[in-house]
Chain A
C-alpha cells in the first residue's frame, strides 16, 4: 500500500494506492472522493452497536464507517475531510498513545489500532460540540484533518487555548476546562470556556474554529415557517 497527501494545507486530500488484492483502509463515512472500479465497500458499525452509539452520543462522529477493500491490484482511492484545511498522518507503534479531537478523524489502517471515545467531563460538555477526545492506541496508521492549518505548540509548563481550536495532543499533557478572563469574560469575551494544558508535550491547534463558521452562517439559514 502507498499513500500521499495532495494539496496540503489548503485542501488536503488523501490518495491511497491499494497495491495487492485484500489490502484495505477504513474511513469516516462521507469521506469518499473517488476510487478505482475494483474496490469493495463494506459499511459497518465500528466496535459494534454499543461502542458506535457511544461515539455518536459523545463524539458527534457518525455511527457508520466504510472499509475499502481492493479486489484487484493497483486500485486508487481518494479520501477527504469535509472542511478546508490540512491533513496529517501519524504512525503509532504498539502501545503508543495519541489524543485526537473526535471530529478530526478521517481514516486509519490496521485492525489493531484502538479508537476509544473519552468522556471529557461535565464542563467540557458545556464548552461546545467537538471537544470530545478519541484516545488512539497503536499499532496502526492514523489520518486526521484540521479546519485550517495545523499549528504545533511545544508546551512546557502551561498553555491556554480555545476549545474549538484543538486538533490533538501527545501523552505528556493533561488538560482542564476553565473560565476565560474572569466572570465578565465568561459571558462577553466571545471565548466562554477555554482549555488549560499542563505538562510537557506537543499540542496541535487548528487555525480556524468550526463553531465560528457555524455562527457566521446562522443568519443565512432558511427559516422554519411552522414555528
Chain B
C-alpha cells in the first residue's frame, strides 16, 4: 500500500493506492472518491473477532460517543481483486498524521480523531475518567494497538510534543499520545479558574513519550460562534 497526505495542514486528505487484495478501513462517511474497481463493505466497528457481548458493548459505547459529540458506529472497508485508489477526508478542517503501530507501540487517540487504519490495527474505547465526563469535555479515548498503519486527523495543525517529565494539555487539544505516558485529568489553577477561566479541564501527562496536540479546539469554535447566531 502506498499513501500520500496532501493539502495539509488546513484541508488535508489521504490518498491511498491499494495493491490487489490489500485493505484499508476508514471512518464512515470519509470517502471522497474511489476508482470503480474497489468495493466498499460497511461493518460495525466492534474490534476483530468480537463476540456477541462485545458487540452489544460496542453499540452501547457508540451511542454514548454519539451523544458526547463523537463518531459513528460504522466503518467502511475498501478492497478489490485488482486494487485501486481511494481518497479519504475527515469532516473538519485540519491535518492528517500517519502513525506506525507495532507490538511495541500502542497509541491513545481522541475518539473524533480516528480516520483510517490497515493491517491488524484494532481500536478499543477507553474512558478518560469521571472527571472528563463531569467537565462535559467528552474526552473519550480509543486505545489503538496491533500491527499496521494508523491515520489520525485533527482540528487545526498537529504539533508533536516530546515529553520527558510533565506537560499540561487542554483536553480539547489532544489528538493522540503514546501508550507509555501516564495521564490524569484535572482543572487548571484554583476554584476560580475552574469556574471562570474558560479553560475547563486539562490533561497532565507524565513519563516519556510523545503527545500530538491540535492547534484548534471545537469547544472554543462553538463559544466564538454562539454570539453570532440568530435566534
Contact = CB atoms under 8 A, between A and B. Distances in A.
Co-assembled chains A and B: yes
Interface stretch (B20-28, B46-54, B139-147, B210-218): B210-218
Interface string B187-231: 011001100111100101000000101011101110111011110
B225 A213 contact: yes
Interface stretch (A3-11, A154-162, A168-176): A3-11
Interface stretch (B37-45, B96-104, B121-129, B166-174): B166-174
Nearest to A224: B231
B173 A33 contact: yes
A30 B137 CA distance: 13
Interface in B149-170: 156-157, 159, 161, 165-170
Contact of A37 (B93, B168, B198, B221): B168
Contact of A13 (B159, B166, B188, B204): B159
Interface residues of B, number: 40
Contact of A64 (B94, B196, B217): B196
B192 A7 contact: no
A34 B228 contact: no
A34 B170 CA distance: 6
B204 A34 contact: no
What class of interface size applies to chain A in its complex with B?
35 or more
A66 B213 contact: no
Contact of B227 (A30, A129, A215, A221): A129
Contacts of A7: 9, 156-157, 215
Contacts of B223: 30, 82
B31 interface: no
Interface string A22-35: 00000001111111
Contact of A80 (B93, B156, B165, B166): B156
B157 A32 contact: no
Nearest to B10: A10
A30 B224 CA distance: 10
A201 interface: no
A82 B189 contact: no
A120 interface: no
A40 interface: yes
B159 A42 contact: no
Contact of B189 (A10, A42, A84, A213): A42
A83 B225 CA distance: 9
Contacts of B170: 32-34
Given A10-B10, A82-B220, A84-B93, A36 B193 contact: no
Given A34-B168, A82-B223, A210-B225, A29 B198 contact: yes
B192 A6 contact: no
Contacts of B192: 43
B157 A42 contact: no
A33 B215 contact: yes
Contacts of A103: 224
A186 B198 CA distance: 37
Contact of A40 (B159, B189, B197, B227): B189
B215 A6 contact: yes
Determine which residue in A12, A31, A32 has the highest number of CB atoms from chain B within 10 A of its CB, and name it: A32
5 contacts: A29-B199, A36-B168, A82-B223, A213-B225, A221-B229
Interface of B: 9-10, 93-94, 156-157, 159, 161, 165-170, 173, 188-189, 192-193, 196-199, 202, 204, 211, 213, 215-217, 219-221, 223-225, 227-230
Interface of A: 6-7, 10-13, 29-37, 39-43, 60, 62-64, 66, 78, 80, 82-84, 103, 128-130, 210-211, 213-215, 217-218, 221
